[in-house]
Structure 1
Amino acid sequence: MKLFDKSKNIYLIKTISTSYENIRFSYWENLLFEAIYKILTISIFTPFISLIFNKFLYFAGFNSLTNGELIRFGLSRYGFLTFIVLTPIIIGVIFIELSVLIIISYFSNYKKRINLKSALKKAFSNIKIIFGFGMIHMALYLILLLPLFNVGANSSLIPSLSIPNFVSDELMKTTLGGILYLLVLAVIFYLNVRWIYSIHIVILEGETSFRRAAKKSSEIVKKNYIKTVVILISSIILFFLLYILLSFLLVSLICFIIWLVNKSFVYKFSPAITFVISLTLYYILMTITTPIVINTLTILYLDYCDKKNICIDNIEFTSNDKKQSFTVKHKKVILSLVIVPALLFFVITSLLVDSSIVRAVNDTHNNFKIMAHRGYTNAGVENSLEAIEGAINANADFAEIDVLQTKDNKLIVIHDTNLKRLAKKNVNVYDLTLDEIKTLQTSQNGFVSKIPTLDEVLKFSKGRIKLNIELKLHGYENNFVDDFLNILNENDFYNDCIVQSINYNILKEVNKKAPKLTVGYIVVAGIPNVEFMDIDFLSVEESIISNKLIMACRLFNKDIYVWTANTLTSIEEYYYMGVDGVITDEVKAARELIDSISKDNFQFQLNDLIQSFI
């Protein structure tokens, strides 16, 4: 069938309609299995994997795992052992979940109810595939590509992954980088769609090699690539429209009932009510998102595959009036004793954790810091005096700058070791003297400037704005820390700056020689263990931030900043999560947002609402 013939709309509607009928038919099997599996993932699988991982870290002599430590641990024998031990466990947990859902969806097409215990046995009978030669191939798909694709067919263990914003932001600053970034996204999308029926082929056709299953999937998709993509995306869009519609209707209904009782009450608490209902619906719908997508894929697979190859057996079926599965037969008991309490626990925990953080950081909110990333680049070239002036005019609390050392041991303010991006010269900072660097002109976004020295920036900023100074290393430094501290001393700038670096050793040297300085560790990736870090604050890439990390910083009296937060939505989210500030390119908009937020906002209303019931 051609994509643009008259029957395409009919086929799309028919596929989505069939998927809806199948989900409705096997709703309880899907809901109960996913709810129980998610609870097991949170309470057993994830803690068990974390326990093993932390034990290997301990044996390897690591207190935490961040930045360069990730590479060192990965290349160590303990890193290799961790990979060998945990990879099959992680693949197995993901594989079992997807396999059971595929079995349920397959038989729902024939209106047959399966016994969940039987489906689990069938899934386990195929688990030997993860120990074959295709294990790396399978790990790449289930642990990396599928979560990065993030179209709904995700596991409870690894729901989603994303490319860190700082990576995409840096790549998009150059044409070549932008092309590379788009190419990576295209490859992720292409491979996911090509291998989209791989698990179906393993389970339903009994294929014992994931590599061969992926090849068969590619052959099926090759003939129906665009149709598969269109139907999959349409299903996801309809699902989220349903989520929005349900949220709107429920919020409207509850607010209307409250309005009938007390008009002023609904105006005061409607944002909090919206938050609670949206969060509750989110947990409920996330339980059936994966079954919906798996069901749609199963319908497409059955339309495209050679049904003669399907050989699924040893499955027990149930009927409505005879031998029902235990979970379906006792669904009310399970719902009332397990799933509903668990759902309430997750919702209430989310609310109380968020509100407790807000309560604990009232002073933090009054002192929430806006840090201009490399100055305000809407006013000048990054790290230039003009950019710092822009940060001052935009009412930033800090200007974040980068410091590198030249060939003649002078400290200059610039981010890149190589000057090609800003100065259009393919030379490195460590190969040039300060006099040579001063002859260069930098340009960015229509602005031009010169590369300033650290001394010039400190004199320019003194009494006007505080600085967050990042110490950057290129490997050719000489007395770097001593020179840096001397310049701070000469300008009496100790109380007007904080110092951060991605290199923990240089922070220890700064701490030793200038213990009064406030120092912070930049976390690009990994798992920071705040307890063992002799620092004053963390500067965390936004993909790593979590309530758990924030609470750990609170417990050990360390500040935490997030970089690079460039959307108002994310800045507001981090504000309510309880971080101490953000490093952002959108300085003016961030300042206006934070200044406009008052204690009448819904999180504080939510606190009042919760307190009124206590």
Structure 2
Amino acid sequence: MRGKRPSIWGDTGALLRGALQLVRAGGARLCGLILVTQLLILLVALPVISWLFREALRANGMAGLDLGQLPVRAGFPLTVSLIVAIVVLVFWILALQFTALVVLLRWPRLSGRQYVRELGRVARALLRPAALPLLGYLFVLVPLTGFGFTSALTRGLAIPQFISGELFKAPATTVGFLLFLLVLAWLNVRFSLTVPVFILTAGRRPLRTSWRLTSGPRTWAPLVLAATVVLALGSLAGSVLAAIALAPTAAADALLPPAAAGTAAVSLGIAQVLGMLLSGLVTAGIAALLITQLRRTASRLPKDGTLLPYPEPSRAGVQAASARQIVPAVLAIAVVLAIGCSAAGWGTMHRLAAAPESLVLAHRGFSAGGVENTLGGLDAAARAGADLVEMDVMQTSDGGFVAMHDAQLDRLAGRPDAVKDLTLAELTSITVRDANGHEDHIPSFSAYVQRAQELEMPLLIEIKIGGGETPDHVDRLVAELEELGALNENIYHSLEAPSVERLKLLRPDLTVGYTMAFAGGGIPETVADFIVVEQWTATAVMQDAAWGAGLGFMAWTVNDEAGYREHLRRNTDGIITDVPDLVLAARAEMQHGSGMAAILFDALTRFVTVV
């Protein structure tokens, strides 16, 4: 008589126990591997990849990547080829990083020569055409869904907020986007055994094998539950780490304020190293779960894909180093890293202590008090105390202008019409509604500007392209603003480079920005006075490059607390946000001074990644 099959909770417990055994067996070797691989990526791989990317852009005569302007010149094919090669290189390094963890966890007692031989075997396999399907899994699916595998190479890879934020503004797109995320998560679970299968078996179809091994809720549900436990424990440990890191600085704030900045720098350096180690251990925990699951389901592997046996000893008979030999080396690496991070953070902490002067711009008004780009939203932004209001202007079929972001009216008005097909009178008679229950009418551009004048609220006016613009639409816009006496009291920007260039040609004295949905590699060639960069690529490096080129720097659309606090600490020139009230409150807190502990907390959220 067969014994009773374990429950899902029993299988979950078995997975966690098996994973814990593997991680414990890895011990000091695992910690050393985590620190060394992260160090190699940060100090070698990332600088080389950045250099290659810049050289790829230069091959086509570009100073920086700007998706709004991709010049097709003689060097364009070479640029595209180099960027593809960079993507493949990143994938290869990423796969090897995870391979190094999996091999050590599976065979923790390998000698150094055996370990290198196994890595070489997988590295060669990754160069074969059969490994190409792994590209989509490791470079797209895993980073987007965050199934526990963290790396400096994939940090920051996510669905940009300006895309997800727009999708969440309408019920239909919200449901569609949530379904898309669920599908991504489901695919990640079903393909989660892909890398262990590729590394630890003789099979040639890892994606198909993983799909087969994770069929049925009795198989994948324990894996999901166990992974959730590992990630939750990692988050909890990260919170404890943050609290411990903050304690010395809080004490210095209270007892010895002049030493607080130095204390914060040292605490940040130590926290960065411990965060790096903790993040790697969480990844190792997930990898150990996958290895345990693969071993538990080995009987379902295809006949040509059995688990590989323990590697044969090397001829030289070199034994794996003992823990007594490895622990001092790991501690030495950690100490050197902590000293280096502390030294690098010394100037950073003093710079972050400066009171921010960033302008806070309400994105399309303030949606908490009115529909975007309406007079109600403008009034709400003024009540919230925004420094400026960012708004959109679009041309109508009869050459007029309205305050409107979307080229189509379906999201806000529930109509299939396009702005370019309707007259100014028709558009201003249409009622718009948002997901917050607000209701208003589409305002003419002149009515919006006049209301802003009454409120003494300066505007950042974005010139939007709806598809039906007249060749002289920028000239007409300038003329309308001059009529209103409002041309010089506002600033401007646009995603369309020709509109920026025309505006600066007409009125060189105006302050005009060039908006970039994606930026990288450097600052683009532009006649603008400042650049507006989407949060995903509005990095500190990009900001410093802009300032070095004499350009102002604004970030959009920054709604998350960690994001706007980071930009405030960086003293970004302008923060375009849907939550101006929260950003203004954070700015006031920082301006009035709250000690180095608060500054360190913001730095920890920026520089220390756990899961």
- TM bin, normalised by shorter chain, reads 0.7 to 0.9
CA distances 1:236-258 after superposition (whole Å, capped 9, x unpaired)? 21222233335445655x589x6
Q: Number of residues paired by the alignment?
A: 585
Supply the distance in 1 between the matched residues of 2:37 and 2:116 (Cα, whole angstroms): 11
Matches within 5 A, 1:223-234: 223=216, 224-234=219-229
> Of 463, 477, 483, which aligns to 1:490?
483
CA distances 1:314-373 after superposition (whole Å, capped 9, x unpaired)? 454899x9833499846534642x4432343234424533543554xx5xx2x3211111
Could you tell me how far 1:175 is from its partner in structure 2? 2.3
Could you tell me how far 1:515 is from its partner in structure 2? 0.9
1:66, 1:528 within 8 Å by CA — same for their partners in 2? no
1:404, 1:413 within 8 Å by CA — same for their partners in 2? yes
- Residues 41, 15 of structure 1: alpha-carbon distance in 2 compared, 3 angstrom cutoff: same
Aligned to 2:563: 570
Matches within 5 A, 1:315-394: 315-316=312-313, 323-325=319-321, 329=325, 332-333=328-329, 335-336=331-332, 338-350=333-345, 352-353=347-348, 355-356=350-351, 359=354, 362=355, 365=356, 367-394=357-384
Aligned to 1:242: 237
Could you tell me how far 1:605 is from its partner in structure 2? 8.0
**SS state of the match for residue 107, structure 2?**
helix
2:101, 2:284 within 8 Å by CA — same for their partners in 1? yes
2:429, 2:442 within 8 Å by CA — same for their partners in 1? no
TM-score by length of 1: 0.86
Report the residue type matching 1:264 in the other structure. L
> Of 427, 430, 438, which aligns to 1:440?
430
Supply the distance in 1 between the matched residues of 2:401 and 2:50 (Cα, whole angstroms): 42
- Residues 317, 292 of structure 1: alpha-carbon distance in 2 compared, 3 angstrom cutoff: farther
CA distances 1:56-90 after superposition (whole Å, capped 9, x unpaired)? 222223222123346979x9523541354223322
Supply the distance in 2 between the matched residues of 1:204 and 1:195 (Cα, whole angstroms): 15
Q: Which has the higher contact order (CA 8 A, sep 6+)?
A: 2
> Of 268, 280, 300, which aligns to 2:293?
300
1:96, 1:120 within 8 Å by CA — same for their partners in 2? no
CA distances 1:498-554 after superposition (whole Å, capped 9, x unpaired)? 111111222122112111111112221231622733322222222222221222233
Supply the distance in 2 between the matched residues of 1:215 and 1:488 (Cα, whole angstroms): 61
Supply the distance in 2 between the matched residues of 1:327 and 1:579 (Cα, whole angstroms): 48
Aligned to 2:88: 88
1:385, 1:460 within 8 Å by CA — same for their partners in 2? yes
1:203, 1:312 within 8 Å by CA — same for their partners in 2? no
Supply the distance in 2 between the matched residues of 1:117 and 1:326 (Cα, whole angstroms): 15
- Residues 274, 423 of structure 1: alpha-carbon distance in 2 compared, 3 angstrom cutoff: same
CA distances 1:431-475 after superposition (whole Å, capped 9, x unpaired)? 112122233222233333222222222222126100000011123
Report the residue type matching 1:235 in the other structure. V
**SS state of the match for residue 543, structure 1?**
helix
1:148, 1:160 within 8 Å by CA — same for their partners in 2? no
CA distances 1:123-171 after superposition (whole Å, capped 9, x unpaired)? 2223344344445422111111111122322344224521111211111
Aligned to 1:216: 209
Could you tell me how far 1:575 is from its partner in structure 2? 0.7
Residue 201 (str. 1) matches residue 180 (str. 2)? no
Aligned to 2:607: none
2:270, 2:342 within 8 Å by CA — same for their partners in 1? no
Supply the distance in 2 between the matched residues of 1:239 and 1:556 (Cα, whole angstroms): 41
Could you tell me how far 1:604 is from its partner in structure 2? 8.5
- Residues 422, 352 of structure 1: alpha-carbon distance in 2 compared, 3 angstrom cutoff: same
Report the residue type matching 2:410 in the other structure. K
1:318, 1:325 within 8 Å by CA — same for their partners in 2? no
After superposing the two structures, state which structure 1 stretch, 162-171 or 242-251, moved more. 242-251
**SS state of the match for residue 532, structure 1?**
coil
Aligned to 1:610: none
Could you tell me how far 1:497 is from its partner in structure 2? 1.2
1:87, 1:139 within 8 Å by CA — same for their partners in 2? no
2:8, 2:221 within 8 Å by CA — same for their partners in 1? no
- Residues 355, 300 of structure 1: alpha-carbon distance in 2 compared, 3 angstrom cutoff: farther
Aligned to 1:177: 173
- Residues 333, 291 of structure 1: alpha-carbon distance in 2 compared, 3 angstrom cutoff: same
Supply the distance in 2 between the matched residues of 1:522 and 1:287 (Cα, whole angstroms): 37
> Of 141, 150, 153, which aligns to 1:154?
150
Report the residue type matching 1:456 in the other structure. A
Supply the distance in 1 between the matched residues of 2:451 and 2:585 (Cα, whole angstroms): 25
Could you tell me how far 1:21 is from its partner in structure 2? 3.3
After superposing the two structures, state which structure 1 stretch, 562-571 or 143-152, moved more. 562-571
1:114, 1:315 within 8 Å by CA — same for their partners in 2? no
Report the residue type matching 1:185 in the other structure. L
Aligned to 2:47: 47
Report the residue type matching 1:62 in the other structure. M
After superposing the two structures, state which structure 1 stretch, 173-182 or 489-498, moved more. 489-498
- Residues 49, 97 of structure 1: alpha-carbon distance in 2 compared, 3 angstrom cutoff: same
Could you tell me how far 1:197 is from its partner in structure 2? 1.2
Aligned to 1:65: 65
2:245, 2:268 within 8 Å by CA — same for their partners in 1? no
Matches within 5 A, 1:451-530: 451-462=442-453, 464-478=456-470, 479-527=472-520, 529-530=522-523
> Of 541, 548, 551, which aligns to 1:555?
548
**SS state of the match for residue 157, structure 1?**
coil
- Residues 195, 580 of structure 1: alpha-carbon distance in 2 compared, 3 angstrom cutoff: same
RMSD: 3.3
- Residues 354, 500 of structure 1: alpha-carbon distance in 2 compared, 3 angstrom cutoff: farther
Supply the distance in 2 between the matched residues of 1:411 and 1:282 (Cα, whole angstroms): 52
- Residues 276, 123 of structure 1: alpha-carbon distance in 2 compared, 3 angstrom cutoff: closer
* 5+ residue gaps, structure 2: 601-611
Residue 402 (str. 1) matches residue 392 (str. 2)? yes
> Of 87, 90, 111, which aligns to 1:115?
111
Could you tell me how far 1:375 is from its partner in structure 2? 0.9
1:559, 1:580 within 8 Å by CA — same for their partners in 2? yes
2:197, 2:294 within 8 Å by CA — same for their partners in 1? no
Report the residue type matching 1:462 in the other structure. Q
Report the residue type matching 1:114 in the other structure. L
- Residues 42, 199 of structure 1: alpha-carbon distance in 2 compared, 3 angstrom cutoff: same
Supply the distance in 2 between the matched residues of 1:502 and 1:24 (Cα, whole angstroms): 53
Supply the distance in 1 between the matched residues of 2:370 and 2:254 (Cα, whole angstroms): 51
TM-score by length of 2: 0.87
Supply the distance in 1 between the matched residues of 2:516 and 2:134 (Cα, whole angstroms): 30
- Residues 357, 505 of structure 1: alpha-carbon distance in 2 compared, 3 angstrom cutoff: farther
Report the residue type matching 1:310 in the other structure. L
Supply the distance in 2 between the matched residues of 1:529 and 1:247 (Cα, whole angstroms): 33
Aligned to 1:310: 307
1:37, 1:156 within 8 Å by CA — same for their partners in 2? no
* 5+ residue gaps, structure 1: 608-614
Structure 1 vs Structure 2: percent identity of aligned residues?
21
**SS state of the match for residue 341, structure 1?**
helix
Aligned to 2:606: none
Report the residue type matching 1:47 in the other structure. P
Report the residue type matching 2:284 in the other structure. P
Report the residue type matching 1:126 in the other structure. V
- Residues 597, 246 of structure 1: alpha-carbon distance in 2 compared, 3 angstrom cutoff: closer
Supply the distance in 2 between the matched residues of 1:160 and 1:397 (Cα, whole angstroms): 29
Could you tell me how far 1:414 is from its partner in structure 2? 0.6
Supply the distance in 1 between the matched residues of 2:577 and 2:388 (Cα, whole angstroms): 11
Could you tell me how far 1:13 is from its partner in structure 2? 3.7
Supply the distance in 1 between the matched residues of 2:154 and 2:112 (Cα, whole angstroms): 23
Aligned to 1:611: none
Could you tell me how far 1:98 is from its partner in structure 2? 1.3
Aligned to 2:530: 537
